[in-house]
Amino acid sequence: MAVERIDYQAGSVKAKGALVWNEKVSGKRPLLLVMSNWLGVTDTLIARAGKMAGDKYVAFAADMYGDGMTCDGPPTSQDWMMAVRGDRVEGRKRVNAGLQAMIAEADKRGIGDSSKKAAVGFCFGGGNVLELARSGAQLDAVVSLHGDLQTTMPAKAGDIKCAVFVIHGSKDPVAPKADRDALEAEMDGVGANWQLLDFGGRLHSFAEEETMMKGVAEYHPGAAQQTYRMLDHFIQDAFAKRL
């Protein structure tokens, strides 16, 4: 897989993302924006974006912190994440900038089909792709994986122009059932095209192999395998206008 680090402006910060694609495949492919968890655009995230891209997509791992900053976890990751979450307007500028950088850079290289665009986010990134949808971004689908579901800027009628898929753990202590109920009410209230699937008994971050915070965030290989298969099917159905 080819990996090229990309500098771009994202709201108030100079961001550094990563464009990932199989350079041995010819022709243009749909675009997949990949939003990181609270650790930033790590090597692990870039490798995961490459696996998700495969032969099918051009992927772009977008930077929400600026300068491509990464960290090893709390308390730093908590502080960085909360700073972004505390300013939803700025956060939406940054995630939208990632979408636009992906389109521009893939087009520049002649490898992207910008008529087909989707976004997938993990944890903190799951919240960011939901904010992308709420902001009225023009893309086909967003998928939130064990994401942050709360917002201070709920969508209004007509805002959400893409299909929304939320994949969650029923026992996720980070975003509990009350958050899922609020999201459902929000999505129904604005007439969004949305789906939510709960994995029974799963906790936070079940689709990320490197995760282990006992009783809080635990990787589950079966749920992860199903998740990646389902999200791909959902995105392909969104591209084909079958949802």
8 A C-beta contact, residue 85 and residue 127:
yes
Mind listing the pLDDT tens digit for each residue in 8-50? 999 999 999 999 999 999 999 999 999 999 999 999 999 999 9
- 61 three-state secondary structure: strand
Output the pLDDT for position 12.
97
From CA 218, how far away is CA 172, in angstroms rounded? 10
How many domains does the structure of the chain reveal? Answer: 1
Residues 43, 29: contact at Cβ < 8 Å?
no
How far is the C-alpha of 219 from the C-alpha of 19, rounded, in Å? 26
**For residue 153, pLDDT beyond 90:** yes
Q: Which of 9, 4, 193 is CA-nearest to residue 96?
A: 9
* pLDDT tens readout for residues 2-11: 999 999 999 9
What domain range is 31 assigned to? 2-239
Helix (H, G, I), strand (E, B) or coil at 104: helix
- Which pLDDT score, from 0 to 100, does residue 52 have? 96
**CA dist 125 → 2, 38, 62, 109, 129 (Å):** 23, 7, 9, 26, 6
Start-to-end Cα distance in the chain: 31
Please give the DSSP secondary-structure letter assigned to residue 73. Answer: S
User: In sequence order, which residues have a C-beta less than 8 Å from that of residue 43 and are 6 or more positions away?
Assistant: none
Handedness of CA 103, 224, 37, 133 (dihedral sign): positive
Mean pLDDT for the stretch of residues 53-73: 96
pLDDT band at 208 (very low <50, low <70, confident <90, very high): very high
User: Residue range 135-156: average pLDDT?
Assistant: 97
Yes or no: say if 205 and 37 are a contact pair by the CB < 8 Å rule: yes
Q: Which sign does the torsion angle of CA 27, 139, 50, 52 carry?
A: negative
Say what the pLDDT of residue 134 is. Answer: 98
Residue 6's CATH number: 3.40.50.1820
Q: How far apart are CA 25 and CA 40, in angstroms?
A: 28
pLDDT reported for residue 212? 78
